[in-house]
Amino acid sequence: MNKKIQKLADKFKVLSNPIRVSILLCLLNGQSNVTKIQECLNIPQSTVSKHLGILKNAGLIEGERSGLEVIYSIVDDGVKNMILSLMAE
């Protein structure tokens, strides 16, 4: 199978989880830390951290250390644009 196709399919697998999509929606408003994302979604911090790791490993977000916290942001513009486009429908 073509590597590009496999990479695309892997992104769709990551995006097939409602919690991960919700995290991305929170991050569309700008950078955020785990606590703010947890408050946005009203789910346990351990759940947020687990899904942030999956999104980060997939290359959709990045985390940048700022003192004691990590600030997350979306780095995959294609996914960002796709979410914005689908939300507009």
Global pTM reads: 0.91
For residues 60-65, average pLDDT:
96
Number of domains in the chain: 1
Task: Give the dihedral sign, CA 72/52/55/81.
Answer: negative
The tens digit of pLDDT for each residue in 31-56 reads 999 999 999 999 999 999 999 999 99
Residue 88 — pLDDT band, cuts 50, 70, 90?
confident
- Which structural domain, as residue segments, surrounds residue 73? 3-88
Give the domain CATH number at 33: 1.10.10.10
Query: What is the per-residue DSSP string for 54-84?
Result: HHHHTTSEEEEEETTEEEEEE--HHHHHHHH
Task: Give the dihedral sign, CA 11/87/21/65.
Answer: positive
Closest CA to 20 of 1, 37, 3, 2: 37
pLDDT of residue 76: 92
